[in-house]
Structure 1
């Protein structure tokens, strides 16, 4: 296929860069960047090149370019993109609309020399008033864990904490779409006088191993190895080492609070407080309810299917295979449904078999089978240390009400009175102020980690951790 280039220079235009030197502008909307360059050929013909890094578009050349002193229109046929903007401040900035496959995003672009990293103002930026050190230590299974240790300025020893990530491979900063929440937490707490250790998950960054073969108990052993490392550092006050866990990492933090004599405090950030079977049901129902176009009736239809499968996986003993009993439960559920229900859950044109195959593969994994059998009653009532549990009330991954209530009830059952439970209004699972509060909007939200949550953590630590 031939692609013809169309160039239109309006009569008022002053050509930008009538030499080979390009002029470039960059803007950001949520987690999406746009980068546009204007160049001229030796013959004086202007060209436009567009990059959308988060959409894997790199220096696409415009098929149509309409350029004037006031505005720019660039159309990229192959990529189905339209860039339309107005110059401001002597062409130092562009107010633009970028249309990709019919969806419009507004950008304010500023002049730059080259493509810059994605930027969120809440991410920490240098200079830092503390020491930062790249470290490694050995965990079980010959795992070489790599991470960053931040140490306050001044004379120690200092209280310390290790940050434990949630489900899914994450680097030491907890990076997603340019947001770095674990770096934010570490920066804040180190400025408050805490040593903080944050690490790359197995098979991520500079840590070796295979993440997919690990279970929650393996992650707990990795975290304990981090605590052992902190105990060896001369800057650490070994009587005051705590664990800070997010999501599944909050579950790990509570487990270590019960099992590790080295842990002196526990902070659970959207941590799992109910059993594994209940969290699966709560999570999936909350996600379905916030899915655009999902009616209450369809939510119930999907949950009927999901609950059937979850209950069967939970009922089969860990040492027994799943394939036959799960197949029987699935076939029985399908046979009991009418055509409207099967269509509502997208079980047409052979999709039922594709769904079952994918779910069976997931459910047979060691992590999944141990997770669904997790019981917080085996751990939380045994915690004798101070506990802080925070959740956002818009969290659909670890719904706040049920999980915080369970943590409180189990701490009370064990006789622990040194705890604080806080449900934060307007915050999602990643402790961001959300708008639609769906999973889809998380990457585009400006928040990296709630300042209110950080303040609560800092105040609580000052009340519960002694400083020398």
Structure 2
């Protein structure tokens, strides 16, 4: 029975690449100054691969000289997890005292109760009709983070405010074991909102998983309350509702050539930044070759900020120095752009890009014969659809873009995540089979039988359906513009073979000028930085290292050769 319950927990509550447990390690409590958080309620939204996947309502209260976290939790991907009760109690020194969780996982009832006494924890676990009790030693100062119960990160946020880079935090992954979290670096971000400015302190940490360290960002506000948790390798983002408002964006130091723009779209406006060269001689006709950067589906701002580094902002600055005017923008429903992303399809995003291209084409300082799209990740797919429909686009560059269908890509990326998490072959097969069933149902090629209503509601969306149905082969065959494919050699999210596949498809085009060029970038990972192996454990080095200049150099060289003055 014990083995069965533990196996269930491993499959259900540690489904993909979240926190696994290591061997016996003990740590002393930190002597840092305690932070006093502000009590109150917070509402969080959960996103998996940029798709809405859950809702969390949490409350932090101080009662009888104890801190109590209470929450309700509804997660629909990558598993169906509904929580009626989550209650975690810490003492006044933020040492764990008691944990209670009850809810359903794939419609099966479970209850977890953990009682902490110094360095001993007793766990009573019931899954359906099976129950077990275990006891183990832990660090008395542990922060308790059960997998997929993201309200628990409120306590981690508070602990992080007491630490310095290099410090470690003992983590108990109830009810299974413990790991450590290492604080790598800290930076601050200013968020501009309709109600004023918010200051976020961003803690870049690594969970020292035995199989593959997991990088994360934890955003904390000035009240020592959790704002955001991002787990890049799992494509999971948990954000407080107030920072998801349309009017909110991360503020960044302006470039002297920056111009804030708003462009009308389908009943709303798209917000962006257009940057003009200032240290480069102006073209004789006063018209600049202009690049429109098209973001991926995961990005939450026009700068495509990842682990503290604004990837598009850095790419824009480098291209501007090469003599290009560059626009980057907030996708619909993101940052300061209007619109409703939950009802948008890949084709809708392509229409937004076309509106921006038409805006650029009307400007007197834009060279109409040299308007170029640069699509990043699945932003490359959006770029292909836009270019197929819009002859004002003169060339398209694809960076880290997949060459297989959306359906195949989802399954490929899930298999990669499950393998990196150390799941068994049986576990991988079961989860991939479930994803295949969901995909077929979304595409109206199969049944929803056996899949919960919550999972169906989250998966059966216009965006996910359009993404699954997208076929790069069909799109490229109808694109007449020159193509550039840039692929990082160490990209672990869009594997290098995709570049060759895109090249083969593009070479079948017979129209004049429909050329293709492919460049594989040695030592470059998915986020355009120099890497040693491209693994998840290196992601947080982005906080101290910008994107590789090779990317902008390759882009600029190709554009100047392909679209000369």
Instruction: Name the residue aligned to 1:360.
Output: 456
Using a 3 Å threshold, how does the CA distance of structure 1 residues 63 and 135 change in structure 2: closer, same or farther? Answer: same
The structural deviation recorded for 1:433 is: 3.7
Secondary structure of 1:272's counterpart equals coil
Instruction: Name the residue aligned to 1:105.
Output: 182
The structure with more radius of gyration: 1
The structural deviation recorded for 1:126 is: 6.4
Normalized per residue, which structure has more strand? 2
Quick check: 1:83–1:99 contact (8 Å CA) kept in 2? Answer: no
Instruction: Name the residue aligned to 1:257.
Output: 387
Using a 3 Å threshold, how does the CA distance of structure 1 residues 297 and 434 change in structure 2: closer, same or farther? Answer: farther
Answer with 376-385 or 438-447: which moved more.
Answer: 438-447
Counterpart-to-counterpart distance in 1, 2:457 and 2:433: 20
Secondary structure of 2:326's counterpart equals strand
Counterpart-to-counterpart distance in 2, 1:107 and 1:281: 32
The structural deviation recorded for 1:244 is: 0.8
Using a 3 Å threshold, how does the CA distance of structure 1 residues 186 and 305 change in structure 2: closer, same or farther? Answer: same
The structural deviation recorded for 1:249 is: 0.8
Any residues of structure 2 matched to 1:259-408 within 5 Å, and which? Answer: 259-291=389-421, 293-314=422-443, 316=445, 325-328=446-449, 331=450, 356-401=452-497, 403-408=498-503
Determine whether 1:48 maps to 2:118. no
Q: How many residues align?
A: 356
Q: What stretches of structure 1 of length at least 5 have no aligned partner?
A: 1-45, 65-74, 86-93, 317-324, 332-352
Q: Deviations over 1:3-45 (max 9, x none)?
A: xxxxxxxxxxxxxxxxxxxxxxxxxxxxxxxxxxxxxxxxxxx
Normalized per residue, which structure has more helix? 1
Determine whether 1:232 maps to 2:353. no
Determine whether 1:136 maps to 2:266. no
Quick check: 1:203–1:209 contact (8 Å CA) kept in 2? Answer: yes
Instruction: Name the residue aligned to 1:7.
Output: none
Instruction: Name the residue aligned to 1:148.
Output: 273
Secondary structure of 2:526's counterpart equals coil
**Aligned-residue CA RMSD (Å):** 3.8
Instruction: Name the residue aligned to 2:44.
Output: none
Q: 2:508 aligns with which of 402, 410, 413?
A: 413
Q: Deviations over 1:424-464 (max 9, x none)?
A: 34433322344674557635534442322222212222222
Quick check: 1:96–1:109 contact (8 Å CA) kept in 2? Answer: no
Secondary structure of 2:394's counterpart equals strand
Quick check: 1:169–1:211 contact (8 Å CA) kept in 2? Answer: no
Quick check: 2:274–2:327 contact (8 Å CA) kept in 1? Answer: yes
Counterpart-to-counterpart distance in 1, 2:368 and 2:160: 59
Counterpart-to-counterpart distance in 1, 2:161 and 2:262: 46
Quick check: 2:490–2:522 contact (8 Å CA) kept in 1? Answer: yes
Using a 3 Å threshold, how does the CA distance of structure 1 residues 224 and 439 change in structure 2: closer, same or farther? Answer: farther
Counterpart-to-counterpart distance in 2, 1:301 and 1:433: 35
TM-score for both structures, normalised by structure 1: 0.66
The structural deviation recorded for 1:295 is: 3.3
Using a 3 Å threshold, how does the CA distance of structure 1 residues 450 and 95 change in structure 2: closer, same or farther? Answer: closer
Instruction: Name the residue aligned to 1:432.
Output: 529
Instruction: Name the residue aligned to 1:334.
Output: none
Quick check: 1:163–1:244 contact (8 Å CA) kept in 2? Answer: yes
Using a 3 Å threshold, how does the CA distance of structure 1 residues 285 and 423 change in structure 2: closer, same or farther? Answer: farther
Instruction: Name the residue aligned to 1:450.
Output: 548
Counterpart-to-counterpart distance in 2, 1:245 and 1:299: 31
Q: Deviations over 1:283-302 (max 9, x none)?
A: 222222222x2234432333
